[in-house]
Structure 1
Amino acid sequence: MENSVVCLTGPRQISLEPCPTEPLGAGQVRVRTRYSGISAGTELTLYRGSNPRLTKDWDDARRIFVPREATLPYPLAGFGYEEVGEIVEVAPDVTRHQVGEIVWGIWGHRADAVVAAEAVAALPAGLDPLAGVFARPGAIALTAILAADLHLGEWVGVFGQGVIGLIATRLAVLSGTRVVAVDRIPARLDLALGQGARFAVNAAVEPAAEMIRAVTGGAGADVCLELSGAYPALHQAIRATVPAGRVVAGGFYQGEAGGLALGEEFHHNRIQLVAAQVSAAAPGVAGRWNSVRIAHTFMELVGDGQVDPLPLVSHVVAAASVAEALELLDRGDSDTLQVVLDFS
């Protein structure tokens, strides 16, 4: 495939466009993309036009959003953060990688990328290259797990069994906890049971908080992780948690909150609400963990066979059909989980 890049020119206006090939500089490698996973969270917010960065500027120094005076920052070219590919060229001063190596990293939805050598990592030996697209989703899930501060034998509710939620369910099980998986799609709940969840709650037909309290003898979950990004689910996670327990909000919530009643269980049960975001580890572990270690640790778990993300791949779509791929995610069909672009 000639060099090309995915371009988003406006809400729901997306295509694969030709682009020039970048020259290779010192300390860099050239990667030919094999697969690039599409995020059903951040990327859908860009695709739909709801991401706050489209209407506001992020002041990194002050860590605050500020009003944007200019128009929306379209077009966006090469967004994406779930890539795996083959190194086809290395700069003379690069010794840590070699031509032919399969690596994972973040370089966006493009056929050919020039990146810093230290920004990519070798895929563990023997893995299907498709597994490489899960490095970032896995890091998001592991970041939430670290923020949850789980302990052996605890009850954990995991709300939202999309890609991130299913990985988090598996990681919580590996942590020695008893997981109750919550979702509105039966097929995803079946996958959660396959990842080791003790119980599955269909929130479309069952009261999630009451069900979690029932299976925990009335006490509630010690910790709940909310990974769907839906405010009503966050409210149910709060309701399902023991007094003075912790709720980790790891979803990418959009707009103003609807369905979240903070004057109820949150206030009366003194719930600790913690945000988890992949750019940094939770304060309690930040001295030992950073975003690089988190991503590498997840991929080591995949390489060791403790986590198998491949069953979460629901669609592999030719990169030229990226518009159809985003439409799949946008519709939210029950059989859609991880959608992957094939650049080969």
Structure 2
Amino acid sequence: MKSLIEIPRKMEALVLEGVGDLRQETVDVPELKEGTVLVKIKACGICSSDIPRIFVTGTYHFPTIPGHEFSGQIVAIGDGVDEALLGKKTCVFPLLPCGSCKACGLEEYAQCSGYSYFGSRCDGAYAEYLVAPVWNLVPFSDSLSYEVAALCEPAAVSLHAVDIGQIKEGQNVMIIGTGTIGFLIGAFAKKASKTGKVIVCGRSQNKLDYAKKLGFETVNPKDEPIPDAIRRITGSDGADVCFEAVGTNEAIENAIRATGALGRIVLVGNPASDLALPKDVYWSILRKQITVAGSWNSSYNSRVNDWAKALEIFESGELNVKELITHTFPISEQEKAFAALKDPSEFTVKVMFTFD
């Protein structure tokens, strides 16, 4: 083992002791093993999936340290690790595949049947330090801040969805959802469509106002039904490609009704409860011969690496993703961080914990 610092025995972390019981605690710094590195966490985003995980459903066991959207510096390395990694800035692919199932054999690790995952199935990055295997490291250049790099996880998820959408130049694209994923999908969709319209739909007017500033067309279903608005804006029978990034019955129905003949729908949103489709909506899929595809996590393999692609886009400077980070807090102010996210009157896109 080699290190840049004297590794402390204890660290501060937000520990989920039970549903709704998130506490700042002093815990042991995780131990380095062969083939792993110690990452000093610098920034960790609060994912929308963290909200139900912390306050509604819980994680897979208690106690757990949440957090899977993060970046940091490699401050120590275990045996067998290249010393050149010491001091590097890095993101971390949070999925830990089993390596032996059918999906792993195909390098489709997001579909692994026996995976672990930082922040839900094992301890994550609402903490000062985390130990990660070298295989999961995604180093980035000094030109990026730790906060921007921590957007790599939602960006990789968004790129994966956009790839599944198979957007062609000139096609009209609709996104239902105004979270971080929705905005990032919109940015990547605009890049793919070039001359087509990209329309963001949601109920939060302050987020729609922000979407307009980013150059998107917008629809608020409080003012006009989404299918009617999409047909009006596109001047056709509906969107060519739709991304549903909410995960509710209403959002999925609107996606189907607002997608044109021979269109494509990519389902990205995580549902909070069971879903059901009215018969006429299901028939609409058949009659318009719509392709419906699911998107889960991101590609991270020898053929496609959404993480490396996202960092390359960030480093090019072509997208001003820093604007998506609306709030940062130390973990000592976790109550303020979650209060901001839960307050509908507060404009938030990405809320992050940051560390010294």
TM bracket, shorter-chain basis:
0.7 to 0.9
Q: Within 5 A, what are the aligned runs for 1:1-344?
A: 3-40=11-48, 42-50=49-57, 73-91=60-78, 93-95=80-82, 97-105=84-92, 106=94, 107-175=124-192, 176=194, 177-197=196-216, 199-257=217-275, 260-264=277-281, 265-280=284-299, 288-289=303-304, 293-344=305-356
Q: Contact 2:255/2:265 (CA < 8 Å) preserved in 1?
A: yes
Residue 63 of structure 1 is matched in structure 2 by none
How does the TM-score come out when normalised to structure 2?
0.81
Q: Contact 1:329/1:339 (CA < 8 Å) preserved in 2?
A: yes
Q: CA 1:288–1:119 in 2, change beyond 3 Å: closer, same or farther?
A: closer
What runs of 5+ residues in structure 1 fail to find an aligned partner?
55-72
Q: Which one-letter code corresponds to 2:235 in the other structure?
A: G
C-alpha distance in 2, partners of 1:251/1:76?
27
Q: How many percent of aligned residue pairs carry the same amino acid?
A: 23
1:234-293 Cα offsets, whole Å, 9 max, x none, are 2111111112311111001111126x4353333442322211111559xxxx9943xxx0
Aligned residue for 1:16, secondary structure, equals: strand
Q: Which one-letter code corresponds to 1:43 in the other structure?
A: D
Aligned residue for 1:79, secondary structure, equals: coil
How does the TM-score come out when normalised to structure 1?
0.84
Residue 59 of structure 1 is matched in structure 2 by none
1:24-56 Cα offsets, whole Å, 9 max, x none, are 22222211111111101x2122123247xx6xx
CA RMSD across the alignment: 2.3
Q: Contact 1:180/1:200 (CA < 8 Å) preserved in 2?
A: yes
Q: Contact 2:230/2:258 (CA < 8 Å) preserved in 1?
A: yes
What runs of 5+ residues in structure 2 fail to find an aligned partner?
1-7, 95-123
Q: CA 1:164–1:235 in 2, change beyond 3 Å: closer, same or farther?
A: same
| Structure with larger RCO (C-alpha < 8 A, sep 6+) | 1
Matched pairs, number: 314
